[in-house]
A and B are shown apart, each in its own frame.
Chain A
């Protein structure tokens, strides 16, 4: 069935270093969403990408949607301790009803 995969599973960085997480779908997506979940919290929506090749920025965060609309990335420049958490990509299921499928997430650890 349709799958959304993320790498890496974990990433440890020193504060100030950059961080990138990658998301790949087994099928073409109409859109892709990114969520952040802080430790002990719940997923919070960050952004949605819709167009092929789209790039969006939110301060130190840069999101890209691949040309084939099957992959995406999130890049954080100069990480801060407030960036700690798990980043999930998610996309809609293409057939058989309505649901949003989540990747397993990339957990970011930032050492001060």
Chain B
């Protein structure tokens, strides 16, 4: 079985642009969470989606948005990019929606904003 897949793996954008990151969870997993990891820090929670609905949101501005599709895949969108948005964006899937579930992470999308 495939693990969590993310695309693209690397991308470079300029300030003010918009970016869309994609994630496919493990088959059978209905929950997808998005994390931002800045170099040298722990993953910071952005969103959790379960059954196509937002179930949790972190302290990120409205420039960040996400959605989950009927096949449980997900997209993270970031508008009006800032230099500080440069980070590794991690998608994690889990079987259920509660915090007791183990997270399986994808390899991440490394975003560089110039």
Contact = CB atoms under 8 A, between A and B. Distances in A.
B97 A98 contact: yes
A30 B99 contact: yes
Interface residues on B, range: 20 to 34
Contacts of A43: 43, 90, 103, 105
A103 B41 CA distance: 8
A30 B41 CA distance: 24
A44 interface: yes
Given A42-B107, A101-B45, A104-B42, A93 B99 contact: yes
Given A43-B105, A44-B105, A100-B33, A92 B99 contact: yes
Contacts of A31: 99-100
A27 interface: no
A88 interface: yes
A48 B97 CA distance: 16
Contacts, number: 67
B55 interface: yes
B102 interface: yes
A85 interface: no
A96 B103 CA distance: 19
Contact of B102 (A45, A88, A105): A45
Contacts of B35: 102
B45 A100 contact: yes
B15 interface: no
Contacts of B57: 97
A99 B58 contact: yes
Contacts of A103: 42
A24 interface: no
B104 interface: yes
Contacts of B99: 30-31, 91-93, 98-100
